[in-house]
Structure 1
Amino acid sequence: MTAHRNFKRRVRARAAKTGESYTAALRHFRPTPSGEDMPELTQTVLRIAVAQSTVREDPTDVDGLRASGAEVRRFMKEAADAGARLAHFPEGALCFPNKYVMSELGPDELGPSDWTKAEWSVLQEELDQIATLSGELGIWTVIPSVHQLPDSRPHNSAYVVSDQGKLVARYDERTLSTTKITYMYTPGKKPVTIEIDGYRIGLALGMDVHFPELFTEYDRLDVDGVLVSYSTNGAPGNDRAATEARGHAAANCYWVSLAVAANPDSNIDAGVIDNMGDWIAQGPSDSRPAIAVADLSRDDELPPAARNWRHQARSRITS
């Protein structure tokens, strides 16, 4: 009883200090999904939950789209229960359209995608429910999906929903694969950063993970970390994305969150990488759907001189 009273006292003290409700303050003391206690959040910490979730490949399958949306919302609730301020999902979290499913010559021959086949209204309904839940839970959500364009092929995108349930940003994949740019999507054109609790975060998607210049660009934009949403069907060599993500973190002295598909053939697990390039949290190694939770803390940052030295060296190289 004494321990329980002390626990409730700590929660009430935080609520009084921050102005949060008791329920909101309680999230910061709950254990992670693995059962391990996480430290109480402070102003210098951003707690994130990164998902390895089920990725379905048929945007004409209404039941599949709804199942993906339901899984995303379940993980959002788990993230909120663990005290996370941000839930980060992989490329194709709602659907990662298969090139043969979408081919106007398919299903056996690759050709230009026929996007009229996609269940756009269902995708929008699922996104709307995700946005509403973000507001109810008071967390930010980065959720990739296909973004419809009126007069051209869609973007492969990642939506950013604020803790108020509002769509505040969208990042469009820039470095499309040959298949994506030839048959499926319109490429994006610019980097996107968001601000959460004083942290500046960049966004990357899909093939972007293979291009270090995009991550150097985010370093110039002075981000604290980059959220990388990635998906692979297990093709040989694609598991190097995790190695590259660690390299980007170490080379630029910032954090990287890597959200991936729950695919046992991919040899990649979701996780969070610190600014030294080391994993500090990872999803289950058997690739089952789950979230991993980690704290991004400025207390753990490298001395500013380390990052400044890189900036100065790069300026000399490019001048």
Structure 2
Amino acid sequence: MPRAALFQMTTGIDPDVNAAAIVSALAEAKAGGAVMVFTPEMSGLLDRKRERAAVNIVTEGEDRVLAAVREAAARQGVWVHLGSLAVRPGNDGQGDGRYANRAFVIDASGGIRARYDKMHMFDVDLATGESWRESNAYAPGDKVVTVETPLGRLGLAICYDVRFPALFEALGRARCDVIAAPAAFTVPTGRAHWHLMQRARAVEASAFMLSAAQVGHHEDGRETYGHSLAIDPWGEVLLDMGGEMAGLGFVDLYPGRIAEVRAQLPSLANRREIAK
């Protein structure tokens, strides 16, 4: 059975410190037998002060976190799902000046096998008084992305995407074995919906969900929910890393479980188009 590792982080405002934490986690994950490591949304930088953050948001080619993780992946011989980084668009004249919230799948030689830009922007006003307007700084992606990995076909999503079933229907149609939904969930929304939605998406797609999360109190003043999860295709929770501490967790994925569930409950095969 292939083993995956989830790295639950409390990412701060210094990309070099965050990169060092990920590099260390890759070495620990390799020693623990993992073939692929998953990190949270915004692994490289969490900083809600835009002027300060802007100094550290650069293009892919200039991103020190991405470079460090690619080098470490090659050194350790492990695959990495880098949950996401804030990156500037390239100098190609495209876009409207906003950043991308971009996930990367990096292979065991350090090559980038896939990129996914978060589709759904977190623009909400919570009852707690928290207000977030992700679309002010980030442009949404528009492509469904899957990629072959040592864990099987991996489908990509990020955080708020988990609230939008159409994306996961598309990933289910692509017959994904695993779906990654890295996150930096707020505490109120996490308590209410995190486990519920992760389990529902696993059941809908008849796939494993692997969702590394941010946790705890961050340098920029925010608090995140944690509870990095691994869920099997039947909706059973295989790993829950809790809401207190950063760290590394391991989960073994039984590939035959996907076929078992799809044979017992063939919802993907039974799906019909709904007339509009």
Q: TM-score, normalised by structure 2?
A: 0.84
Cα distance in 1, alignment partners of residues 248 and 158 from structure 2: 18
Gaps of 5+ in 1: 1-44, 59-63, 104-113
Q: Does 1:139 align with 2:78?
A: yes
One-letter amino acid matched to 1:238: G
SS in structure 1 of the partner of residue 181 of structure 2: strand
SS in structure 2 of the partner of residue 229 of structure 1: coil
Going from structure 1 to structure 2, the CA distance change for 1:316 and 1:201 (only over 3 Å counts) comes to same
For residues 272-307 of structure 1, give each alpha carbon's deviation from its aligned partner in whole angstroms, at most 9, with x where no partner exists.
101111111222x35211111111112323254345
For residues 51-79 of structure 1, give each alpha carbon's deviation from its aligned partner in whole angstroms, at most 9, with x where no partner exists.
211122x4xxxxx2111111111111111
What residue in structure 2 maps to residue 196 of structure 1?
149
Aligned pairs (5 A) from 1:278-297: 278-283=236-241, 285-297=242-254
CA contact (8 A) 2:11 2:43 kept: yes
Cα distance in 2, alignment partners of residues 232 and 224 from structure 1: 24
Gaps of 5+ in 2: 124-132, 218-222
What residue in structure 2 maps to residue 216 of structure 1?
169
Cα distance in 2, alignment partners of residues 303 and 250 from structure 1: 9
CA contact (8 A) 2:116 2:156 kept: yes
CA contact (8 A) 1:47 1:294 kept: yes
Q: Does 1:47 align with 2:3?
A: yes
CA contact (8 A) 2:177 2:207 kept: yes
SS in structure 1 of the partner of residue 26 of structure 2: helix
What residue in structure 2 maps to residue 160 of structure 1?
105
CA contact (8 A) 1:79 1:291 kept: yes
CA contact (8 A) 1:53 1:90 kept: yes
What residue in structure 2 maps to residue 125 of structure 1?
64
Shift of 1:86: 0.6
SS in structure 1 of the partner of residue 245 of structure 2: coil
Aligned pairs (5 A) from 1:235-274: 236-239=188-191, 240-263=193-216, 266-274=224-232
The answer to which of 184-193 and 264-273 deviates more is 264-273
One-letter amino acid matched to 2:232: D
Rg comparison, structure with higher value? 1
The answer to which of 204-213 and 222-231 deviates more is 204-213
SS in structure 2 of the partner of residue 214 of structure 1: helix
What residue in structure 1 maps to residue 184 of structure 2?
231
SS in structure 1 of the partner of residue 203 of structure 2: helix
Cα distance in 1, alignment partners of residues 25 and 215 from structure 2: 13
What residue in structure 1 maps to residue 88 of structure 2?
148
What residue in structure 1 maps to residue 19 of structure 2?
69
Going from structure 1 to structure 2, the CA distance change for 1:316 and 1:156 (only over 3 Å counts) comes to closer
For residues 71-98 of structure 1, give each alpha carbon's deviation from its aligned partner in whole angstroms, at most 9, with x where no partner exists.
1111111111111111000001111341
Going from structure 1 to structure 2, the CA distance change for 1:288 and 1:116 (only over 3 Å counts) comes to closer
CA contact (8 A) 2:11 2:214 kept: yes
One-letter amino acid matched to 1:248: R
CA contact (8 A) 2:100 2:118 kept: yes
**Sequence identity, in percent?**
21
Going from structure 1 to structure 2, the CA distance change for 1:198 and 1:295 (only over 3 Å counts) comes to closer
Going from structure 1 to structure 2, the CA distance change for 1:115 and 1:260 (only over 3 Å counts) comes to closer
Aligned pairs (5 A) from 1:18-57: 45-56=1-12
What residue in structure 1 maps to residue 128 of structure 2?
none
Aligned pairs, how many? 253
CA contact (8 A) 1:65 1:123 kept: no
Cα distance in 2, alignment partners of residues 232 and 303 from structure 1: 29
Shift of 1:147: 2.0
Aligned pairs (5 A) from 1:77-88: 77-88=27-38
Q: Does 1:205 align with 2:163?
A: no
CA contact (8 A) 1:271 1:292 kept: no
For residues 105-164 of structure 1, give each alpha carbon's deviation from its aligned partner in whole angstroms, at most 9, with x where no partner exists.
xxxxxxxxx975335389712211110110111111111101211342111011111111
CA contact (8 A) 2:85 2:102 kept: yes
SS in structure 2 of the partner of residue 168 of structure 1: strand
Cα distance in 2, alignment partners of residues 305 and 232 from structure 1: 33
CA contact (8 A) 1:242 1:268 kept: no
Structure ranking higher on relative contact order (CA contacts 8 Å, 6+ apart): 2
